Amino acid sequence: MAKPYYFYVLLCADGTFYGGFTDDVGQRVATHNAGKGAKYTQRRRPVRLLFAAAYPDKHAALSAEWHFKHQSRAAKEAFLQAQGIDWQH
């Protein structure tokens, strides 16, 4: 069986959300917090992992990331609420 890929959502220090994909969530979050991740998160550290979901392949994880990133803030909040995630605490 192929190694799964993950779509994940971070809460940045400025209160914004960041969505990404990886094959190793723990390592990727550590990379973001080290300032070596995406440009978006470099100036918004520390980041906190809010959500991660496994997908069977890279394409599926990338698709989930794309759909998340192209939603409004309200839609992103609704997605997280539907997952039972309280990002405000």
Task: Tokens for 39, please give them.
Answer: 């440009």
pTM of the model: 0.94
Quick one: residue 7, left, alpha or beta (phi over 0 = left, psi -120 to 50 = alpha)? beta
Please, which residues have CB within 8 angstroms of residue 13's CB and are 6 or more apart in sequence? 44, 45, 46, 47
Q: Which fold has domain 5-82?
A: GIY-YIG endonuclease (3.40.1440)
pLDDT at 1 over 80: no
Each residue's pLDDT tens digit, 13-49: 999 999 999 999 999 999 999 999 899 999 999 999 9
Write down the mean pLDDT value for the chain: 95
